[in-house]
Structure 1
Amino acid sequence: MIRAVLIISVSFFLSGCGEGYPPQSNGRVVQPYTPPPTPKERYQQHVAIARSARYRKKRLLNKGEERLFRALVKASKANDYRVFSQVSLGEILNADGDAFSVINSKRVDFCLTDKNFYPIAMIEYYGSGHDDETSKERDEVKKKAAENAGITYHVVYERNISIMDQHIREKLLPKLALTRNSNRHPSSAAEL
């Protein structure tokens, strides 16, 4: 038994494993395991990247989105709504586990809230660049999450941009009137 352990130990040492070198396997070097960076190391890496990068500001809304934003602001004043643009779903929806990770990094073009800042509508603008391979999947996730939370999900198509005020008045506001009284707000801090 001692002899078997000794033979295995010598074999292990001679293969290079005993010296910290990666073993050879069919002529390829097997890389040793590298643990992921600690949170502090990751933070330091991000700070180093941010220091050396050349960031440039860019426009928050394209021209079509800007027209929609202005029309939403105009309609919102009369109805005591608030308008926010490019909102992360993780900021307006809450869920447990995988359900939250599915929506956390997604954004909605516009979010309307009531006067207490509870979301009442998520609005997407479908411009000419909206038809990539994954947009349907992303939009379906947003729509289902909104419906599940009791939030109106509404799409404005580029073809409606010339009649934006009319579209909002005739299509969006009636939807909001139907759901306004049915929305339940969290009643305690535990639900927030």
Structure 2
Amino acid sequence: MIQDDIAIPAIAFIAVVFVLLAKAGGRSRGGRSKSTTVAAKSSAMDGCQVRTKPIMSTEQGRVHEMLIAILADRNVYLCPEVSLSAVFTLRHPGDSNKAFAARGTFSQKYVDFLVTDHRHLPICGIEYHGSGHRGGTSEIRDAAKRRVFEMAGLPLVEVEKGVTAETLRARVEGVLPDKVRRRVPSPPGRAPSPNRRG
């Protein structure tokens, strides 16, 4: 009988806890429901005007066009403005806090151009130091980029404003691995297969 007297309140207490947890599950950390939070985030743009803009400057665009020509006969992809957090993963054995801090040194940064193979594995990064690049925190950003590329064993080609096509070609081709072969021209009248492996 004593056991029953203890068990019934205990069961009732557990049931109340489950109900409270279920209600809390539908709320965000700030105490608001998820739907309220989503609505608030969405309404934050109410009354604003949103327009598109170029993803690179005129100078970067010039380098981009040169790179397209340089890599045209290679089995590679050229990707502009790539987030470093999409390129690199980082961990520290036994210290997740240090890994989190280290990731923060590059996670919000971008590389101007990324060259990948046909499996989208990075081959090298290309950073253009144009006008307006110097000053402010640019040296700190550049150092962080160099460091993470170096630690990953991934080449980073850095070029200055006014670089010629010949210099750029020599710098880029100098870091391309042998496995990135030149494309073999297709027979006359036959278009190259987009899925052909290099």
**TM-score band (shorter)?**
0.5 to 0.7
CA contact (8 A) 1:124 1:155 kept: yes
Please state whether the residue corresponding to 1:77 is helix, strand or coil.
coil
Query: Which runs of 5 or more residues in structure 2 are unaligned?
Result: 1-28, 92-99, 181-198
Query: Is 2:152 the partner of 1:154?
Result: no
- Hey, which of these two has a bigger chunk of helix by percent? 1
Residue in 1 aligned with 2:106?
A: 103
Map 1:157-176; keep pairs closer than 5 Å: 157-160=160-163, 163=164, 165-176=165-176
How far apart, in 2, do the equivalents of 1:63 and 1:152 lie? 25
Please state whether the residue corresponding to 1:112 is helix, strand or coil.
strand
Query: Is 2:135 the partner of 1:132?
Result: yes
Q: Deviations over 1:111-131 (max 9, x none)?
A: 111111111111111111101
Go from structure 1 to structure 2 and tell me whether the alpha carbon gap of 1:45 and 1:179 turns closer, same or farther (over 3 Å shift).
farther
Query: Which runs of 5 or more residues in structure 1 are unaligned?
Result: 1-34, 181-192
Identify the structure with bigger relative contact order (alpha carbons < 8 Å, sequence gap 6+).
Answer: 2
How far apart, in 1, do the equivalents of 2:33 and 2:48 lie? 21
Residue in 1 aligned with 2:88?
A: 93
Q: How many residues in Structure 1 have an aligned counterpart in Structure 2?
A: 143
RMSD: 2.3
Please state whether the residue corresponding to 2:158 is helix, strand or coil.
strand
Go from structure 1 to structure 2 and tell me whether the alpha carbon gap of 1:138 and 1:75 turns closer, same or farther (over 3 Å shift).
same
Q: Deviations over 1:87-106 (max 9, x none)?
A: 11111111132222322111
For normalisation by structure 2, the TM-score amounts to 0.64
CA contact (8 A) 2:125 2:157 kept: yes
Q: After the TM superposition, which segments of 4 or more aligned residues of structure 1 sit over 6 Å from their partners?
A: none
How far apart, in 1, do the equivalents of 2:133 and 2:33 lie? 36
Residue 115 of structure 2 aligns with an amino acid whose one-letter code is: L
Residue in 1 aligned with 2:14?
A: none
CA contact (8 A) 1:90 1:103 kept: yes
For normalisation by structure 1, the TM-score amounts to 0.66
Map 1:46-65; keep pairs closer than 5 Å: 46-65=41-60
Please state whether the residue corresponding to 1:170 is helix, strand or coil.
helix
Of residues 38-47 and 55-64 in structure 1, the stretch that sits farther from structure 2 once superposed is 38-47
Residue in 2 aligned with 1:11?
A: none
Please state whether the residue corresponding to 2:125 is helix, strand or coil.
strand
